[in-house]
Amino acid sequence: MQLVLISGLSGSGKSVALHLLEDAGYYCVDNLPVTMLTVLVRMLKEEQVRKLAVAIDARSGGGIDQLPDKLRMLAEDGVRHAFLFLYSNEDTLLRRYSESRRRHPLAADNRTLAEAIRLERSLLEPISSLGHRIDTSGLKANALREWVRQFIETEPGQGLTLMFQSFGFKHGLPLDADLVYDVRCLPNPHYDPELKPLTGRDQPVIDFLEGQAEVQRMRGDIARFVGDWLPAYIADNRNYLTVAIGCTGGQHRSVYLAEALGREFAGRARVLVRHRTLAGG
């Protein structure tokens, strides 16, 4: 059986992720108590269910801290699993709840929405680092669906996946980054009227940046650091290593470098390339 577990903060996109998995042929169960996880998996294995997705969050009640032990038990039974944790910053969650006018599952008469969000973050902290984390702050639903699709297609749990993610500093630092590189010091195509509307994936911008010695030096420095330390990250039994590269707007320099580094490391690890700003995040 292939098992995908989804958890995270309410309002961070768990329903979007679960619906995509359902469309991908997974048998989906929402809001399952952790204590019932092994029972459900063993029962569905007997029914020959091959792909199972389970959402576990603060609504599931107590027992969250039992999840690592439950996953070890499933691994001993030969169940391959992947864990996806979705979260957003507080401002994004407050805005989403304000727009949807939905009630937070931990809201109470004596608890504000902000207090409910912080309580949930605290309750889920023990399991937040069990797998791949996606910061959905400001991310559009279509982009999240694509990122979840990439996640299930890279066979998590079968070694390290190296992710190069571009972003714009003016939109905020991505919370899911392991390594962050600031490339705002490099020559900026934004100031060329012909290049301004393009992105780092367009050939005129690529030609401009590849003709800049500073850009190629930065690219080489990042590649050397990641390459030198990649074996250590692999030995640490990580599933994902996210290398975030940021420029001012997340449109030109960071996009070019993420794409270039993705191609450079494609033969050394499973590689994903993501662009937060271009995706709407």
Reported as a single tens digit per residue, the pLDDT across 19-42 is: 999 999 999 999 888 989 999 999
Do 171 and 130 sit in the same domain of this protein? no
Q: Which has more pLDDT, 61 or 179?
A: 179
For the CA atoms of 157, 163, 168, 171, the dihedral, rounded to the nearest 10 degrees, stands at 0
Do 144 and 196 sit in the same domain of this protein? no
Pairing of strands 161-168, 179-182: unpaired
Do 153 and 176 sit in the same domain of this protein? no
State which H helix or E strand residue 278 sits in.
helix 276-279
Do 115 and 63 sit in the same domain of this protein? yes
Instruction: Please compute the mean of the pLDDT values over residues 80-87 and round it to a whole number.
Output: 90
Do 129 and 113 sit in the same domain of this protein? yes
Q: Hey, CA dihedral for 38, 44, 47, 52, is it positive or negative?
A: negative
Asked if the model's pLDDT at residue 157 lies above 70, the reply is: no
Give the N- to C-terminal CA distance of the chain in Å, as an integer: 33
Q: Which has more pLDDT, 57 or 191?
A: 191
pLDDT of residue 57: 84
Of 158, 187, 209, the residue at which a domain comes to its end is 158
Instruction: Please compute the mean of the pLDDT values over residues 187-207 and round it to a whole number.
Output: 97
State which H helix or E strand residue 13 sits in.
none
For the chain, strand residue ranges (E) read: 2-8, 27-29, 51-55, 80-87, 132-135, 161-168, 179-182, 240-247, 270-275
Of 126, 158, 190, the residue at which a domain comes to its end is 158
How many residues in total does the chain contain? 281
Enclosing domain of residue 24: 2-158
Instruction: Please compute the mean of the pLDDT values over residues 129-141 and round it to a whole number.
Output: 88
In the three-class reduction of DSSP (H, G, I as helix; E, B as strand; rest coil), residue 159 is classed as: coil
Instruction: Please compute the mean of the pLDDT values over residues 206-219 and round it to a whole number.
Output: 97
Do 9 and 133 sit in the same domain of this protein? yes
Number of domains in the chain: 2
Do 237 and 104 sit in the same domain of this protein? no
Chain center to CA of 6: 12
How far is Cα 13 from Cα 33, in angstroms, rounded to an integer?
19
Do 93 and 201 sit in the same domain of this protein? no
Distances, alpha carbon 33 to alpha carbons 38, 55, 67, in Å: 10, 9, 10
Do 242 and 112 sit in the same domain of this protein? no
Task: Evaluate whether 198 touches 207 at the Cβ level (below 8 Å).
Answer: no
Do 222 and 208 sit in the same domain of this protein? yes
Mean pLDDT score across all residues of the chain: 90
User: What phi and psi, each to the nearest 5 degrees, are found at residue 175?
Assistant: -75, -15
DSSP 249-269: SSSSHHHHHHHHHHHHHTTTS
pTM of the complete model: 0.76
How far is Cα 114 from Cα 107, in angstroms, rounded to an integer?
9
> Residue 270 is encoded by which pair of tokens?
């499973």
